Amino acid sequence: MWAVVYIASNRMEAEMLKDFLSKEGLLVMLRPLGVPHQGDAANFEILVPEGEVAEAHEILAGLLGR
């Protein structure tokens, strides 16, 4: 199963984080939130397999300073 590790504010941020996590060796999937007509301006969930959640959180914390 996939688990949400972050909600990006738009597609550009989501794609950037997806690329970063992918380069770290994680499988990553994006899923838009909200109504379809928002397009790239919608929020996007960043998902990873459940077994990679802790690693994804650690990577994101280092990247985003959390």
Q: Residue 41 is part of a domain; what is its CATH number?
A: 3.30.70
Say what the pLDDT of residue 41 is.
78
| 9-60: pLDDT as tens digits | 999 999 999 999 999 999 999 999 977 677 777 899 999 999 999 999 999 9
Domain of 59, in residue numbers? 2-64
Instruction: Check: CB of residue 48 under 8 Å from CB of residue 36.
Output: no
Length of the chain: 66
CA 36, CA 43: separation in Å to the nearest integer? Answer: 11
Domains of the chain: total: 1
pLDDT at 19: 97
Question: Hey, what's the torsion of the CAs at 47, 52, 53, 58, to 10 degrees?
Answer: -110
pLDDT above 90 for 64: no
